[in-house]
Amino acid sequence: MMDLSVTIAGVRFPSCVMNAAGALCVTREELVALGRSRAGAIVTKSMTLEPRQGNPEPRYKSFPGGSINSMGLPNLGYQAYAQLIPELRTFQKPVIASVAGFSEEDFVTIASAINACRPDLIEVNLSCPNIPGKPQIGYDAEASERLLKRVRKVVSVPMGVKLPPYFDPAHHEHMARMLGRVEVDFLSLINSVGNGLVVDSETETVVIKPKGGFGGLGGTLIKPVALANVRAFWKLFEGRLPIIGTGGVVSGADVFEHLLCGASAVQVGTVLVEEGLGVFERLETELGALLRQKGYPSPEACRGKLKEL
């Protein structure tokens, strides 16, 4: 087997493929199963102050080309994850604690408590797209900067930011300037593409219950958007800021494309939910074979090497 390990923000990952926050990582059982699997890290569900049931079901649906969800952040609450982190660290792979909140105070309280449990990295989720009545904070650069500066003060482990997709170069540039001022250690790009709508023509209905059927899109159909965001931020930071690419990874070739665009590692959501924990071994095998075939000795060797015409 090819060595697919990577280092991000000084932390070594045994593999460059891991779960995305939200996919099979809510309960202790799910997190321990990720620990036992071939996943390169254990990424927790984005945690809030209080435990949450999330939105009414059905709230996730796969369809040809991808998935739509409006989960509403179901999670155990940050105190439960704080207690779990020491156990999760015994699996000899990085633990990434994903932190969310409904106010700046929430983020600071959670990040401070979680930092004290020493996860390997903390991912600040600025892009929860499924909370009715709340815009994503990641689309407001000023609010994001204020929040991240406060969180940075209480976090001593490597801190990254999970961002929503941006669709305009001006937004990439604006956010990159802001992130440069805040001193983040890595980026996770992208969260699901918000507010899609999937219709079942057979039943003439929407396919999920919350928010009139509107939800975040994931899977194959969002890959071009994910790759564009990875590439844009890779170029804006001139390769200095590690990026974890998320969106549309269902094969080893998809992982390779993310690496070419500038990602150091990838996270998987839809394909993990659909296929289960065996997906990590399959993706690693496919990626290893592709890198060998192309003459790259490691994932690092092809990072950012995308050619332009």
CATH code of residue 170: 3.20.20.70
Question: How confident is the model at residue 135, as a pLDDT?
Answer: 74
Query: Is there a domain that residue 177 lies in?
Result: yes
Domain extent at residue 272: 6-55+75-194+219-302
Query: Is there a domain that residue 70 lies in?
Result: no
Question: How confident is the model at residue 132, as a pLDDT?
Answer: 60
Question: How confident is the model at residue 129, as a pLDDT?
Answer: 54
Reply yes or no on whether 16 is catalytic.
no
Query: Is there a domain that residue 307 lies in?
Result: no
Domain count across the chain: 1
Question: How confident is the model at residue 244, as a pLDDT?
Answer: 98
pTM of the model: 0.97
Query: Is there a domain that residue 41 lies in?
Result: yes
Query: Is there a domain that residue 202 lies in?
Result: no
309 residues of the chain, pLDDT tens digit each: 799 999 999 999 999 999 999 999 999 999 999 999 999 999 999 999 999 999 999 999 999 999 999 999 999 999 999 999 999 999 999 999 999 998 899 999 999 999 999 999 999 999 865 556 667 899 999 999 999 999 999 999 999 999 999 999 999 999 999 999 999 999 999 999 999 999 999 999 999 999 999 999 999 999 999 999 999 999 999 999 999 999 999 999 999 999 999 999 999 999 999 999 999 999 999 999 999 999 999 999 999 999 999
Beta-strand ranges (E) seen in 179-222 are: 186-189, 193-197, 199-200, 205-206, 214-218
Query: Is there a domain that residue 49 lies in?
Result: yes
Q: HSE, CB side, 13 Å, CA atoms: give it for residue 205.
A: 7
Instruction: Let me know: does 280 contact 37? Beta carbons within 8 Å.
Output: yes
- Catalytic pick among 25, 128, 261, 302: 128
- Residue in 36, 57, 54 with CA at minimum distance from that of residue 45: 54
Question: How confident is the model at residue 160, as a pLDDT?
Answer: 98
Say whether 160 sits in a helix, a strand or coil: strand
Query: Is there a domain that residue 34 lies in?
Result: yes
Query: Is there a domain that residue 212 lies in?
Result: no
β-pair partners for 75: 52
How far from 260 is each of 231, 252, 263, CA to CA, in Å?
9, 12, 7
